[in-house]
Structure 1
């Protein structure tokens, strides 16, 4: 049994203190799944929100013959933009890094890592981000972990880095004991009441049509679709976040 339901609950009004916020999503749909409710609450409160998409999203259905890699990327980026608009976010202000899906670089020596970290840093500074939302550092997907490291590298180059909140996606289904927070991580978990943003969140998830049944890329029998069991975690009126523990 995962411990998330034991975490203390923070009210929706918590978002007012976050200030201008940037959400960093490894793939199109992670922004809606992991923190769509928080994003909706931020916009309802009039707080500026900006989005970064890290990968090109092409590997959910790599065997599609009807859709080339370029076409799959176009579909998924369009879904990402649509989901943002449903959450009240200006999609025209987004940053799309276009890194390879399934192979997001995770270390400074890997091609594209330093450039992506620099772009992230510039984007955060341009929008005077007070908070950045990023996947939990050990969320069990390599692109999610790589995204966390990219953000870490970007923040390391900032004299006054924004507050960092880490959200869950695959930890709900795939977390091993070693993936969960420990004392060494120096973080505390909490649940945010997102009931007031839940309808928008559900609409944003549904906007990613290629990832939910019956899908868009229908000629790849082995392609990825979000299972109902997975989606059930994101229909709850709470979202789970980790942040640096108060000394």
Structure 2
């Protein structure tokens, strides 16, 4: 893979990062976000879903309570990366695991995101990879491509989470440009660990609920980030 040139993603053009769920921003883009906020560059995170489907069997943490927790975890993660949660986060809060049903062919979501791009005057958008095996990631990527097609001059990049993890398990790496910022790894680690509910540290009454696999957080903390430019 080629080393990522700072001009590609560390320029002054306003950037919008699309996170299908709270934690995707830290896993896929934590180094980049930390560096951009440290430099004072206009950078905004839009969280598309409320993350409330991670523990459907919990009575202690019903959907609304879990969604509020995950929103708070996202705010803490952004602070760890040097951002301002009030200024730098838009919480769309759509139902978790339902983007593909709520937004047929990405239509409604496309309108939401196009409006956000316009309001932020974003010139660069990062989306979850369409190769990630999760319906919300695919819907996010589809909507982002549609927005880019409507906005001449808007550059679109993708970051991989689950497809990258599965690739590592098979001894392969996703294709793209690498961004390695070792001095930002402590901030990224803190941001990932701010999502405690996804690490089995909060919800105790749903053993079948989601927990990051063993080694998952550590691997994403240790690796360079990889971004691929997407043609609309």
Same fold judged by TM-score > 0.5?
yes
| 1:64 has 2:90 as partner | no
Q: Is 2:225 the partner of 1:242?
A: no
Aligned residues: 227
Residue 210 of structure 1 pairs with residue 197 of structure 2: yes
1:4 equivalent in structure 2:
none
Kept in 1: contact 2:158–2:230 (CA 8 A):
no
Tell me, which stretches of 5 or more residues in structure 2 are unaligned? Answer: none
Separation of aligned partners in 2, 1:143 and 1:52: 14
Query: 3-state SS of the aligned residue for 2:32?
Result: helix
Asked whether the 8 Å contact 1:106–1:150 carries over to 2, the reply is no
Cα distance, 1:166 vs. partner? 0.6
Pick one of 22, 32, 50 that aligns with 1:28: 22
- TM-fit CA distance, 1:210: 0.4
2: CA distance, partners of 1:227 / 1:78: 22
Task: State the alpha-carbon separation in 1 of the partners of residues 211 and 158 from structure 2.
Answer: 24
Stretches (4+) displaced over 4 A: 11-14
Change in CA separation of 1:66 and 1:15 when aligned onto 2, cut-off 3 Å: same
Shift of 1:45: 1.8
Instruction: Quote the residue 2:165 is aligned against.
Output: 173
1:44 to 38, 46, 64: 38
How far is the alpha carbon of 1:242 from its aligned partner? Answer: 0.5
Mind listing any 5+ residue stretches in structure 1 that lack a counterpart?
1-6, 182-187
Q: CA deviation at 1:17?
A: 2.1
3-state SS in 2 of match to 1:59? coil
- Residue 152 (structure 1) shift: 1.7
Cα distance in 2 for residues equivalent to 1:189 and 1:115: 29
In 1, distance between residues paired with 2:56 and 2:137? 19
Q: Secondary structure at the match of 1:225?
A: coil
Shift of 1:168: 1.1
Report SS of the residue matched to 1:124: helix
SS in 2 for 1:191: strand
RMSD after superposition: 2.4
Deviates more, 1:60-69 or 1:168-177: 168-177
